Amino acid sequence: MKRIMVAVVVGLLLTVAGCSSDAPVTTAAPVELRSGFTVNGLEIGPGAILYGADLTRADLRNADLRNADLRNADLTLADLTGANLYGANLMYADLSGTTLTGADLRCASLALADLTNAYLSDAIQYGVDLICE
């Protein structure tokens, strides 16, 4: 229950419908998304396979991580401000203390992710999959 309560406090809007692979990809503000760079030797970009990756304190501002596999990733204290996480799989990811301000979380799976003290202000969150233990 703790994870749901954290999400509700920051105003997470959950809807089940509305996810489509042809839905337009947007961010909260018009910015140029970053991709094709590395963090800790890991390639960052759309569809990246980052399963179990250590991205603690990573600077992922405005990163294009559409449909990325971030299951079990450690994103503790990472900065994902303005990141595009549309359709990303963040199941079991550690997002504690992570900044997701203005991030696009539409159709992302945050099932069983740790959102303790995560900052989600102004994040786009329609169709987010959030399941508690």
**Does residue 109 lie in a domain region?**
yes
Q: Are 111 and 88 in contact (CB under 8 A)?
A: no
Residue 63 three-state SS = strand
How far apart (Å, rounded) are the C-alpha atoms in residues 49 and 128?
20
Q: Is residue 119 part of a domain?
A: yes
Chain-wide mean pLDDT for the chain? 80
Q: Is 40 a domain residue?
A: yes
Domain that holds residue 108: 1-16+34-133
Tell me what the mean pLDDT of segment 20-44 comes to: 70
Is residue 3 a part of any domain in this protein? yes
CATH at 3: 2.160.20.80
Q: Is residue 24, in this structure, part of any structural domain at all? A: no
Residue 2: is its pLDDT beyond 70?
A: no
In a domain, 28, yes or no: no
User: Quick check: 26 pLDDT over 80?
Assistant: no
Higher pLDDT, 109 or 29: 109
Residue 10 lies in a domain: yes
In a domain, 62, yes or no: yes
Helices first, then strands: H and E counts in the chain: 1, 2
pLDDT surpassing 50 at residue 79: yes
Task: State how many domains the chain has.
Answer: 1
CB 40, CB 53: distance < 8 Å? yes
